[in-house]
Amino acid sequence: MSKPLRVAMIGYGFMGRAHSNAYKRLNDFFALEHRPVLQVACARNAEKAETFADTWGYSRVETDWRKVVEADDVDLIDICTPNDTHQEIAIAAAKAGKMIVCEKPLARTTAEAEPMVKAVEAAGVPNMVWFNYRRVPAISLAKQLMDEGRIGRVFHFRANFLQDWTISPDVPQGGAALWRLDVQAAGSGVTGDLLAHNIDTAMWLNGAITRVVARTETFVKERKHQLTGKKEPVGIDDACLFIAEFANGSLGLFESTRYARGHKALKTFEINGAEGSLAFNLEEMEYLDYFEYAQDSHVRGWRRIHVTNGEHPYMDRYWVPGLVVGYEHTFLNAIADFVKGLETGKSVQPDFRNALQTQKVCDAVLESARAGQWVATAVEL
């Protein structure tokens, strides 16, 4: 007996596609009672909503998200709009008793995010933030190896997220595909867009970040704004680097930029502990690198685990050993976990409250960069 899970998608961009794909494929790979139904595609522009709905097979379209969150034929609201709209939609959806899955970052600021957490908790609705990289099988395996105690006392965590797509000053800011460069819509630049992912991974694996010192930079100071048609100051951070203290006494080093020529999506991390180390790189996401100290000394070495076997997280759902799955499967794995959570009554992570902690670190990072000094986070983990 299958249960429909009627999805309303708000937004139709890159993430709208990635999530839609995940819903459509869920039951092909995961044995679950719930079957997502693509019910409503919502966008302010009716034509774009229609095209999107047509491509992915949504049953109907809306141009007003307020109608969507209150619609009777919808169970789940998926928020894929720019960051400046997350709060209003999420709070309304919570009040309407809908389940909510929200793109990351949760909001532009902690102040904006806190009422969202209160709203979902007050309403008691299932909620999740799409920090999809936790569901890269190799990263899930890293978490498993940490939980198995294979790394020991942690000394260091370092992580990058390097891209190169905004080096040209001719790239404009604002508007449909480029709202990530518009500080009003995005809240911040690489900090909220990219480092948020790294912070989420870091705190999942290594616990709370308590204090940071950061430096941001905007290399291109003015860009044409697509909404005004004029050159306007760039308000986002093009690059952000910070040093972090973790609650467990280890040190963190983080860097993100869109000015690292030769890197498209180089999300990396490395963690060094007394008993071993782990390293990951999103551009070759099928691997987890692992150094185990407890080996005969003459055969110690970094091993590349090809994370494609049935014993690896999620991989029993897909093909056969040695065959690679990709980026999109992280969303599929995430929604599978969310639905499993519905069916087992066990809340999936990261939920809004957990994602709020990442927001707090982002805020502290940006505050530190502005103030030029160390800033304590208010993370509660």
Give the span between the Cα atoms of 54 and 36, in whole angstroms.
17
Q: How many residues does the chain have?
A: 381
Our finding on whether 316 is near its own copies (CB under 8 A) is: no
Instruction: Kindly identify the residues of this chain, within the stretch 8-47, that bind its own copies according to CB under 8 A.
Output: 14, 17-18, 20-21, 24-25, 27-28
Pick the closer one to its own copies by CB: 319 or 380. Answer: 319
Instruction: Kindly identify the residues of this chain, within the stretch 107-126, that bind its own copies according to CB under 8 A.
Output: none
Give the span between the Cα atoms of 16 and 90, in whole angstroms.
16
Pick the closer one to its own copies by CB: 64 or 320. Answer: 320
Single out the residue of 44, 156, 231, 340 in contact with its own copies (rule: CB under 8 A): 156
Pick the closer one to its own copies by CB: 287 or 349. Answer: 287
State the Cα torsion 327-329-332-337 to the nearest 10°: -100
Our finding on whether 159 is near its own copies (CB under 8 A) is: no
Pick the closer one to its own copies by CB: 4 or 229. Answer: 4
Eight-state DSSP code of residue 103: P
Cα–Cα distances (Å) from 327 to 132, 157, 306, 307, 353, in that order, read 9, 23, 15, 14, 25
Measured in whole angstroms, the distance separating CA 109 from the mean position of its chain's CA atoms is: 15
Our finding on whether 336 is near its own copies (CB under 8 A) is: no
State the Cα torsion 133-137-139-145 to the nearest 10°: 150
Backbone angles phi, psi at 200, to 5 degrees: -60, -50
For CA atoms 182, 185, 189, 193, the dihedral sign is: negative
In the complex, the smallest distance separating the C-beta of residue 257 from its own copies, rounded to whole angstroms, is: 6
In the complex, the smallest distance separating the C-beta of residue 70 from its own copies, rounded to whole angstroms, is: 29
Our finding on whether 299 is near its own copies (CB under 8 A) is: yes
The two tokens of residue 179 are: 């709202």
Site string for its own copies, 177-216 (x = CB under 8 A): ------------------------------------xxx-
Q: 3-state DSSP call for residue 253?
A: strand
Single out the residue of 184, 306, 340, 347 in contact with its own copies (rule: CB under 8 A): 306
What type of residue is 20?
S
Our finding on whether 243 is near its own copies (CB under 8 A) is: yes
Task: Choose one: 68-76, 120-128, 153-161, 222-230; the region binding its own copies (CB under 8 A).
Answer: 153-161
Our finding on whether 370 is near its own copies (CB under 8 A) is: no
Single out the residue of 52, 242, 314, 338 in contact with its own copies (rule: CB under 8 A): 242
Task: Choose one: 60-68, 71-79, 120-128, 264-272; the region binding its own copies (CB under 8 A).
Answer: 264-272
> Do 237 and 218 form a contact (C-beta atoms < 8 A)?
yes
Size of the site for its own copies (CB under 8 A): 91
Single out the residue of 103, 200, 245, 363 in contact with its own copies (rule: CB under 8 A): 245
In the complex, the smallest distance separating the C-beta of residue 83 from its own copies, rounded to whole angstroms, is: 18
Our finding on whether 290 is near its own copies (CB under 8 A) is: yes
The two tokens of residue 91 are: 């709070």
Instruction: Kindly identify the residues of this chain, within the stretch 42-81, that bind its own copies according to CB under 8 A.
Output: 55-56
Buried b (16+ CB within 10 A) or exposed e, 169-196: eeebbbeeebbbbbbbbbbbbbbbbbbb
The two tokens of residue 181 are: 């460069």
Task: Choose one: 112-120, 196-204, 327-335, 355-363; the region binding its own copies (CB under 8 A).
Answer: 327-335
